[in-house]
Amino acid sequence: MAVGRFKLCRLLLMNNRAVPWFILVPETDVTEICDLNLLAQAILYDEINTVSHFVQALDGVEKLNVAAIGNVVSQLHIHVVGRHAADFAWPGVVWGIEASERYTDEQFERVRQQAADGLGEDFRSA
């Protein structure tokens, strides 16, 4: 679900209401962060920081999980997931577990608005 975009990355929301789960998708053909040039890496890490601080501040978030995996979808993408000790997968990881609850249109719109308000001036809402 498209939330918006930064300078380098599009920002998506995973349709799993159990946890706040964002995905940054940099515009690139390389499949590993280490193969981005250093300028692109710097921009990517800055955008990951922005999303990380945003997710950290959401209600109930106790821990971040930040990961570049890409075994299934080769387009480079980075997960930023807000976790807490009572969530659907804790203390395990969220990947590979079926979504328990989807967003309604209204719930998604609320997240989109929260992101638009909280992600700073380099972010353009979808």
Using CB under 8 A, list all residues that contact a copy of itself.
Answer: 31-34, 41, 45, 48-49, 52-53, 56, 63-72, 83, 90-93, 95-96
Beta-sheet strand order (sheet of 21-26): 78-83, 21-26, 9-13, 2-5, 124-125
Q: From the CB of 57, what's the least distance to a copy of itself, in Å?
A: 11
Residue 54 or 103 with smaller CB distance to a copy of itself: 54
Q: From the CB of 126, what's the least distance to a copy of itself, in Å?
A: 23
Within 10 Å of residue 74's Cβ, how many Cβ atoms?
A: 9
Residue 5 or 87 with smaller CB distance to a copy of itself: 87
Residue 45 or 108 with smaller CB distance to a copy of itself: 45
Q: Are 61 and 82 in contact, with CB atoms under 8 Å apart? A: yes
Element (H, E) at 81: strand 78-83
